[in-house]
Amino acid sequence: MRTDRKGIAALTLVLQMAGCADVDEGGESFREERFETSETAVRDTPGRALFNDATFGGNGRTCRTCHSSGTGTVSPEEARLRFSRNPNDPLFLHDGLDDGVRGVTRMLERATFRIQLPLPPNVVLAHSPARSVVVLRASLSTNNVALENTLMNDGREATLETQALGAIHGHAQNTLAPTPGQLEAIAEFERSREFFTSARLWAYANGGAEPGLPVGRTQAERRGRRFFENIPFAPNAAGTHMSLDGICAHCHSGPMLNTANGHGPFPVNTRFTTAGVSELNRSGNTVRTFVFTLADGTSTEVTSPDPGRALITGKAADANLFKTPSLWGINRTAPYFHDHSARDFDELLDHYQAFFDTAPTPVPVAHFTHQDREDLKAFLRLLDQPPSAHSDQP
């Protein structure tokens, strides 16, 4: 197994019986937090046992191997921690390897998995038209999945049950088929309190009030809120650049901050949008040309490292569109985007500035000042806070 082991800092591991781990690596903290569950999510349930322990005769992976209880996903920090403890951890098998056979550099640096997708019947690879599948690199979903009606970055799964089955086949390489009852139990466990980032969202999932946009307690948080206000697109008075007020809400609106509000370039309630991730390809993934045969018999080419939704629908118009993620709990789910190309909030904002700078005319230009960036980061951190930090009720 190849990796740059010298680049992995010595990690101090403190395990607590409550299920928390803190590791300081280069001045930053990694924390895995297990939520205390209520009587509605009893610890000893069939779904919990299946999620945590069942391998279904596969390669040793379970659902918990890749979906931590603190975030529902795996980060590079967690991968490095686990590699330092056990280089043979099941995380570093199969699609956790650089090429499926050896090397773990990609997992340690980006925490992305190799996924193999069948090409739609009307799509071929220009360089290899006989191939029927394509291998991509992608991140995992995060928590709050019980409030999701769109699963996976490209929306290819319809239910938690089919998502679990796909993971058991694709990631765990099972030899024993899970029963429908077992899949239902796993899905029910994923709807438990353990998989919600806050009590506020847990209450919402169980019929409570919609989570409102936090007002904030500090000046920076309050200024950062303006980027998420549900207001129309507005150029400045001279029409030379775009006002930043409400710019994030163009895609991150609604109670889960994951739908378009209709004021930006996408229709209201749209879930699949582009933030220029595949277009800019800042993570340097392999770029391919996909040839789409259209309904009228003509064809069009899409050149991209990952066309996203288009590989599910077979529609070239869906190229480079991905599911807009919820922002609740975002402070704990770095890296960001479907390819984990933004390692932290600063790289996230660097990406959006590059996206604005390369947007086609006549889209007005938007610029983040240093103060804008600091305010945005303050507000994004607020979205990870417990309800006591919010003042969103009139």
Q: State the pLDDT at residue 275.
A: 93
Amino acid letter at 57? G
CA distances from 117 to 56, 158, 304, 311 (A): 22, 16, 15, 8
Reported as a single tens digit per residue, the pLDDT across 326-367 is 999 999 999 999 999 999 999 999 999 999 888 765 455 678
Beta bridge partners of 15: 21
Show the low-confidence residues of the chain (pLDDT under 70): 1-43, 234-242, 360-365, 385-394
The strand pair at 133-138 and 113-118 is best described as antiparallel
Q: Which of 167, 161, 164, 162 is nearest to 113 (CA)?
A: 167
3-state secondary structure the chain: CCCCHHHCCCCCCEECCCCCEEEEECCEEEEECCCCCCHHHCCCCHHHHHHHHCCCCCCCCCHHHHCCCCCCCCCHHHHHHHHHHCCCCHHHCHHHCCCCCCCCHHHHHCCCEEEEEECCCCEEECCECCCCEEEEEECCCCCCHHHCCCECCCCCECCHHHHHHHHHHHCCCCCCCCCHHHHHHHHHHHCCHHHCCCHHHHHHHCCCCCCCCCCCCCHHHHHHHHHHCCCCCCECCCCCEECCCCCHHHCCECCCCCECCCCCCCCCCCCEECCCHHHHCCCCCCCEEEEEECCCCCEEEEEECCCECHHHHCCHHHCCEEECCCCCCHHHCCCECCCCCECCHHHHHHHHHHHHHCCCCCCCECCCCHHHHHHHHHHHHHCCCCHHHCCCCC
Confidence at residue 117, expressed as pLDDT on a 0 to 100 scale? 96
* Percent of the chain whose pLDDT exceeds 70: 82
Residue 364: per-residue pLDDT: 58
Q: How much is the pTM?
A: 0.85
Q: What is the CA radius of gyration of the chain?
A: 21
